[in-house]
Amino acid sequence: LHVASGSLFSGSYGNVKVHSLDSWNLTHTLQAHNHWVRAITSTSRHLYTGSYNAIKVWDLKSLECVKNITAHHGSIYSMLPYN
């Protein structure tokens, strides 16, 4: 689970669910990965999701994937963004 920009982000199998903190309604489903999303974090501009062998970088405002990093072997369980 992760909170950023007025939304709650939760990982599931292949997806990231985005819920509004105001209404708790599901607002978006990001087709994120081909395995369990185990790590979610953010900076002021980007959302980062980690799964098996991949990290994806998303624009936090548009929720568009801007980068896919596949240089890992195994699941990613945590991330710490650095500006």
Q: Is the Cβ–Cβ distance between 18 and 12 less than 8 Å?
A: no
pTM, whole model, 2 decimals? 0.90
pLDDT tens digits along 32-80: 899 999 999 999 999 999 999 999 999 999 999 999 999 778 899 999 8
Report the C-alpha gap between 47 and 62 in whole angstroms. Answer: 11
Q: What is the pLDDT of residue 83?
A: 67
Neighbours of 3 (CB within 10 A): 12
Alpha helices in the chain (DSSP H): none
Report the C-alpha gap between 50 and 40 in whole angstroms. Answer: 6
DSSP state of 77: -
